[in-house]
């Protein structure tokens, strides 16, 4: 898998039949260990649970049955997404296609709430800060303190990212803002070439991506369900080509 900084060229078209060209499939990673334990995860790098690995394999099998031939894949740098990507592509026998990782597809950063369950977070910070950051588009969770060992600046995977871009906590709006340029500069151009693209990411990041491609309101995005391991397929809108229409959930 190639890091974002090393891959600025277009993906080569697949050698498979082009019946799926020009399609976009969004996939949330399979259930993670902290999804299972109902803990705020954010940028914490936990792996898939046993159930999550099975979800990823089922997603790959569904996509294989659809006859999809991806030209390339984008995913985050977090293990639960990269592991899902590996399982899906192996199941589809597409291990050879290029995969580009980027921190811009990471989950929303949940700041100081990361690692906590909901009730533990409420006891520590009170109900309003915890609830606001989940239901208000511009509200951030309590931030990591300076010097906290969980800050992403201490992780070598983010060494090439400017310090000002690395979050201590993010709102839904912040997540959308850091995703927008990557969509415009990397994903959308691949789709404009007629490529079939898979994006494996996280719940709140995929919500932000759907807001970009479908033009949904803030309220619609916050309430949108994005189950683990369930592919969402999109095709270009016939009236407004820069927007995309959801075909169906597989």
Active site residues: 29, 107
Phi, psi torsion values for 29, nearest 5 degrees: -55, 160
User: Strand pairing of 99-101 and 72-75?
Assistant: parallel
Q: DSSP for 124-190?
A: HH-HHHHHHHHHSTTPPPPPPPTT-TT-GGGSGGGTTS-GGGS-SS--HHHHHHHHHHHIIIIIHHH
Distance of alpha carbon 12 from alpha carbon 15, whole angstroms: 9
Q: What beta strand segments (E) does the chain contain?
A: 2-3, 24-28, 72-75, 99-101, 197-201, 232-236, 244-249
**Both tokens assigned to 1:** 């898998």
Distance of alpha carbon 127 from alpha carbon 148, whole angstroms: 23
**CA-wise closest residue to 196 among 21, 68, 10, 74:** 21
């Amino acid at each position: 898998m190639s890091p974002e900084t090393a891959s600025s060229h277009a993906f080569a078209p697949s050698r498979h039949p082009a019946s799926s060209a020009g399609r976009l499939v969004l996939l949330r990673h399979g259930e993670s260990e902290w999804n299972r334990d109902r803990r705020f995860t954010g940028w914490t790098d936990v792996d898939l649970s046993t159930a999550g690995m099975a979800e990823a394999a089922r997603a790959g099998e569904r996509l294989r049955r659809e006859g999809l031939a991806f030209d390339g894949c984008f995913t985050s740098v977090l293990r639960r997404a990269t592991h899902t990507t590996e399982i899906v592509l192996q199941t589809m026998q597409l291990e050879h296609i290029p995969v580009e990782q980027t921190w811009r597809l990471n989950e929303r950063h949940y700041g100081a709430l990361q690692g906590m369950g909901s009730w533990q977070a409420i006891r520590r910070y009170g109900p309003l800060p915890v609830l606001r950051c989940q239901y208000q588009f511009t509200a951030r969770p309590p931030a990591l303190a300076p010097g906290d060992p969980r800050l992403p600046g201490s992780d070598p995977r983010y060494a090439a990212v400017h310090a000002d871009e690395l979050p201590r906590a993010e709102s839904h709006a912040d997540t959308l803002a850091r995703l927008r340029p990557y969509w415009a500069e990397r994903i959308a151009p691949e789709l404009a070439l007629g490529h079939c693209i898979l994006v494996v990411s996280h719940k709140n990041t995929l919500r932000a991506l759907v807001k970009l491609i479908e033009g949904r309101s803030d309220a619609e995005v916050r309430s949108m369900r994005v189950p683990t391991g369930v592919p969402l397929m999109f095709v270009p809108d016939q009236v407004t080509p820069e927007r995309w229409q959801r075909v169906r959930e597989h």
